[in-house]
Chains A and B, each alone.
Chain A
């Protein structure tokens, strides 16, 4: 269940239009409140292979919900820009995965299976293989469902520390261990002689900078690059350790699950989203790919929960839609918005050292930056989407007989699915699952191209006919 949220900046042709200076702050406040009320993020953990280190790795996907009410007229124009903002990273991730699959043979070699897919596919009969793959897919999906429900429960009972610890451990695993293996395999493929000291230095730097960029603050492009890299690494793990039929089945079932979990009223993801909305806070910001950086907004955080969180885990970085600006719904406001109180506190000095006053000081510079806030918003896509798109394309390039034709067809299909999903997002303006349409198109095109188009193109190339 991954969701997209599109933030529509309030500008046209690069200039602020409706926001005149005197009403500017209130406009942005209103808009950000509306956004806050509809924002929520959810994460889901995918379990990866654990045979090498015994620790289950969990990836969490987030769902971000965003309600766009401004600039109805400009929806499509922004839609185009946001679609490209997502096309590029998805394409990059797929290119990395396909390039690795084609060159590094490690990821296409069969070296066993994950413990989550215990049934082998090397069976005598087709029926047995089908049964085994169905069982494998069922086990994997149940693990994912259990993890999601666990996450929802943890979130509901405010066990933030557990969740953050979980996330930090998974990113540690990805950034250090998996990239170490990847680097090792690349060196083996190209026969590069390397010593452990250099490798240790490289992996250490890569990992530490990655942790900082992803969980705290960092340049936007670097953070995006790291997110793409860890998605690619995760996808490569799935491609290596999932047997064929199991992989296709899991892809199909996960899109259905995504659809159900995000759209059904009792779906775990939807519940997570709604809980986050009630509390007016964002979920876990570290595992969503965002095309813009709004961490300045985080400084103006009013929510005491969020303050605690930001103090504990320095999750300041992040997210478009993540931090809720203000809640005018606070009862003891006296009619003044928190924003106003902050400004007042700031002018006449804090009476006490409260989180609010601290935020006030921090809020000062960012208040002037809120004018850039609408422009900075972009689209967000959960990392799980990246991972499963890349798994599909990677599997297509690894196992298809049509080879590059199939890979290309799946690539175009996934991009078109993403485009359609964003179009639906622009129309419905609520959290949507990003997997179903793209994965359906991808699967259809994979099987059709591999079985129907490839023989046709083969014959055409043989006779050198052109269509």
Chain B
């Protein structure tokens, strides 16, 4: 426990997201607002799903363990669906906002594109989701205690941190995929995002069998990353050029 675990888990969970924030979002005020609004939308979806779960729990027998667990699973699935629904609502709002920005701008084009908004919205969702999962754990990690002293897994904090990181990344990629699907009317992309989200959440039911939840989640994240990269205009050639630090006069700009 104590500081080492606290800092370690904080940086594992939020380090990449923090880096993304600093380098891509913090400079532009509009993106910061979209980020916070995305976090807000995720929060509202969580609120509504907690409300439903709370009502279900209050209406049921608190002694029945299996029922409670079943209700929790139902709550998780419902929450996932609601999150995606709110992502769709946020997409609608951002579309309207783009039209407003275009109308307000002097040269008829919006200062931010829908792809950038998709990315920032994804990061917003991810950050809020990660924060809500992780912050209380981190606060507890600062204090005294022994992890898993009652027979639970000793890797609880570490795996939570890794899971949070993968979820933040996944939300980012899902944002890009989802908005792309909405933009180009490709419903199968949207359905794929929803199914991926349900899968990742469902995999977490394997916990504490972490190999069943973390490994597939990371594989899914890699797949989502590759897909989002391709959809944003990336290609194997771009990647090769980037990795070899090659210069080229006419390289396509992904996602701008």
Q: How far is it, in angstroms, between the C-alpha of A75 and the C-alpha of B30 when the chains are bound?
A: 12
A135, B137: Cα distance in complex, Å: 39
The CA of A75 and the CA of B201, in the complex, are separated in Å by 42
- Whether A465 lies near B40 (C-beta < 8 A) is no
A467 to B73 CA separation, bound complex (whole angstroms): 10
Which size bracket describes the interface of B in this complex? 35 or more
With contacts A445-B47, A466-B163 taken as known, whether A75 is within 8 angstroms of B132 at the C-beta atoms is: no
Interface presence of B144 (CB below 8 A) = no
Partner of A73, one of B53, B105, B132: B105
Q: Is the CB of B139 within 8 A of A404?
A: yes
Q: How far is the CA of A415 from the CA of B32 in the complex (A)?
A: 11
- By beta carbon, the residue of chain A nearest B28 is A80
- CB-based A-B contact count at 8 angstroms: 124
Is B233 in contact with chain A by the CB < 8 A criterion? Answer: no
Q: Is B60 an interface residue (CB 8 A)?
A: no
Instruction: Find chain B residues with CB under 8 A from A404 CB.
Output: 135-136, 139
* Contacting residue for B201 out of A74, A402, A455, A465, CB 8 A: A465
Q: Is the CB of A464 within 8 A of B156?
A: yes
Residue of A nearest to B130 (CB): A466
Residues of A within 8 A of B33 (CB): 80, 83-84, 419
**Could you tell me if B50 and A456 are in contact, using CB atoms closer than 8 angstroms?**
yes
- CB contact list, A43-101 vs B, under 8 A: 72-77, 80-81, 83-84, 87
Please determine whether B104 and A460 come into contact, CB atoms closer than 8 angstroms: no
Please, which residues of chain A bring their CB within 8 A of the CB of B57? 455
Interface: B187 (CB within 8 A): no
A402's nearest neighbour on chain B, judged by CB, is B136
CB distance from B74 to the nearest CB of A (A): 12
* Contact residue among A73, A81, A451, A466 (Cβ-Cβ distance under 8 Å from B133): A466
CB distance from A89 to the nearest CB of B (A): 14
Assuming the A-B contacts A73-B104, A404-B136, are A466 and B39 also in contact, with contact meaning beta carbons closer than 8 angstroms in the complex?
no
Known contacts A77-B104, A83-B33; A465/B76 CB under 8 A: yes
Cβ of B72 within 8 Å of any chain A Cβ, yes or no, is yes
A87/B32 in contact, CB under 8 A: yes
Mask, B139-173, CB within 8 Å of A = 1, is 10000000000000000100110010001000000
Instruction: Evaluate contact between B159 and A80: CB separation under 8 angstroms.
Output: no
Smallest Cβ-Cβ distance to A84: which chain B residue: B29
Counting CB contacts under 8 A, is A25 at the interface? no
A413 within 8 A of B: yes
Q: Does A459 contact B (CB under 8 A)?
A: yes
Contacts of A76 in B (CB 8 A): 100-101, 104
Across-interface contacts of A448 in B (CB, < 8 A): 47, 50-51
Task: Write the chain A residue with the least CB distance to B71.
Answer: A459
Q: Kindly state whether residue A348 has any CB partner on chain B within 8 Å.
A: no
Known: A76-B100, A80-B29, A455-B54. A408 touches B131 (CB 8 A): yes
Is B75 at the interface (CB under 8 A from chain A)? Answer: yes
* Residue A409 at the chain B interface, CB threshold 8 Å: yes
A419, closest chain B residue (CB): B33
CB nearest to B204 among chain A residues: A466
A72 to B53 alpha-carbon distance, docked (Å): 46
Task: Assess whether A73 is in contact with B69, with CB atoms less than 8 Å apart.
Answer: no
Question: How far, in whole Å, are A181 and B106 apart by their CA atoms in the complex?
Answer: 53
In the complex, the chain B residue whose C-beta lies closest to that of A455 is: B54
Contact B39 A74 (CB under 8 A): no
Query: A409 vs B132: C-alpha distance in the bound complex, in angstroms?
Result: 9
Provide 7 A-B residue pairs closer than 8 Å at the C-beta atoms, listed in order of the A residue. A405-B132, A412-B128, A413-B43, A416-B40, A419-B33, A460-B76, A465-B204
**5 other contacts beyond A80-B33, A456-B50, A466-B76, with CB at 8 A cut-off?**
A87-B36, A412-B43, A415-B36, A445-B43, A467-B83
7 smallest A-B Cβ distances: which pairs? A464-B207, A84-B29, A80-B29, A456-B50, A466-B204, A452-B50, A404-B135
Residue numbers of A with Cβ under 8 A of B are: 12, 72-77, 80-81, 83-84, 87, 402-405, 408-409, 412-413, 415-416, 419, 445, 448-449, 451-453, 455-457, 459-461, 463-467
